[in-house]
Structure 1
Amino acid sequence: MDPGRDREFAEFVDGRFRALQRFGYLLTGEWHLAEDLVQTSLTKVWFHRHSLRSGNALESYTRTVMVNTSTQWWRRKWKGETPTEHLPEAQSREEYGAVDDRDQLLRALATLPRRTRATLVLRYFEDLPEAEIAQIMGCSLGTVKSNVSRGLAKLREHELVSAAATPRATATPRAASPVTKADSPAPKEG
């Protein structure tokens, strides 16, 4: 056992757990599944931590394990219909519009194939270069570019995203102040 590697792993988990959890949420679309995904992936990485060459490899390897584990879970999952296909549209106030847009984008993202979804998350949420994404995903650079292109095209076509892209009605203007220009005092001269 190498106590240096164990300490390095513990520091990695302490420093990157929340970022990995957000990444897991974007892969799975559910917080409890994201927590399970991170814990399962970190358990797998723990057993291989001594074979990794550097701390940077630890980050990349963990993301690779998370993508692969998420894909394995999805393949095993029964694909049944959800109890309600379409929820009624709730009227929201303008200040909640950003939350609604984010929710609609996450729903649309959830409709994409797992590998395409993972590629988009790595590219645009994690802001990783395409070459690193190819390494994490275990595919060619051309496959990454193709997945990104197809994924963005599907998101643009998706009704939830296109609805979010349309301009919202502006909020109701506030009532005018009871003091009008005629009621205000005249400016002092001099």
Structure 2
Amino acid sequence: MDSASEASFREFVESRSSVLLRVALLLSGGDRGAAEDLLQNALIKAAGRWQRIEEPEAYVRQVLYRQQISRWRLRGRAREHSVAEPPELTTPAGDAAHAVELRLVMGKALRRLTARQRTMLVLRYYEDLPEADVAELLGCSVGTVRSTTRRSLAKLRTMAPELSALASGDALKGGPNHLTEVRP
């Protein structure tokens, strides 16, 4: 890599790594170490092809998605992790702490899902990708994306009823972008 390309790559990493780390955190279920590994591996792949990449952020995001897909495919069925019941939530809806609490609860709820379910929801709602794009990225049919997303949301609602109370009808009730408002 020549010095101009190296400078361009460094600038990209400095400006976009925080956003890309948030996506990696969501994909990894909030495991910061796993998210940092995902991002680091994606950036290493991007560095090797830097001079040929036309849209660096799109390239790195796609590498993140595919690496996460490979992880959950290799693991097979993910083991469920038991978690303690959440504490009573009494924060008023207009309070600034309410938004923070909602993000924390959403993060815990997403970690309760399998990696495949979490990946589908992150791609579909956090990244706001159309079903066809999610299907293409994951190598499955649009129908699989629809059914997995529907089942994942139903499981999320069942496993984390505290979200409904916290969100006061915003986070999990309707609209294709209901998860985009809550970023763990």
TM-score per shorter chain, which class?
Answer: 0.5 to 0.7
Q: Which structure would you say has the larger RCO, counting Cα contacts within 8 Å and 6 or more residues apart?
A: 2
| 1:36 aligned partner | 37
| 2:162 aligned partner | 163
Matched, 1:89 2:83: no
| 2:27 aligned partner | 27
| 2:110 aligned partner | 109
Q: Which amino acid aligns with 1:133?
A: V
What's the CA shift string for 1:72-96, capped at 9, x where partnerless? Answer: 78x29x95966xx415625654332
Aligned partners of 2:157 and 2:163 also within 8 Å: no
How far off is 1:125 after superposition? 1.0
**C-alpha root-mean-square deviation of aligned residues, in Å?**
3.3
- Aligned length in residues: 161
Judged with a 3 Å threshold, the aligned counterparts in structure 2 of structure 1 residues 66 and 14 are, in CA distance, closer, same or farther, namely: farther
Percent identity for Structure 1 against Structure 2: 34
TM value normalised by structure 2 = 0.67
Rg: which structure is higher?
1
TM value normalised by structure 1 = 0.65
| 2:180 aligned partner | none
5+ residue gaps, structure 1: 169-190
5+ residue gaps, structure 2: 168-184
What CA distance in whole angstroms lies between the structure 1 residues aligned with 2:114 and 2:85?
Answer: 22
What CA distance in whole angstroms lies between the structure 1 residues aligned with 2:81 and 2:65?
Answer: 29
Q: Which amino acid aligns with 1:166?
A: A
Aligned partners of 2:135 and 2:141 also within 8 Å: yes
Matched, 1:46 2:44: no
Q: Which amino acid aligns with 2:104?
A: D
How far off is 1:146 after superposition? 2.0
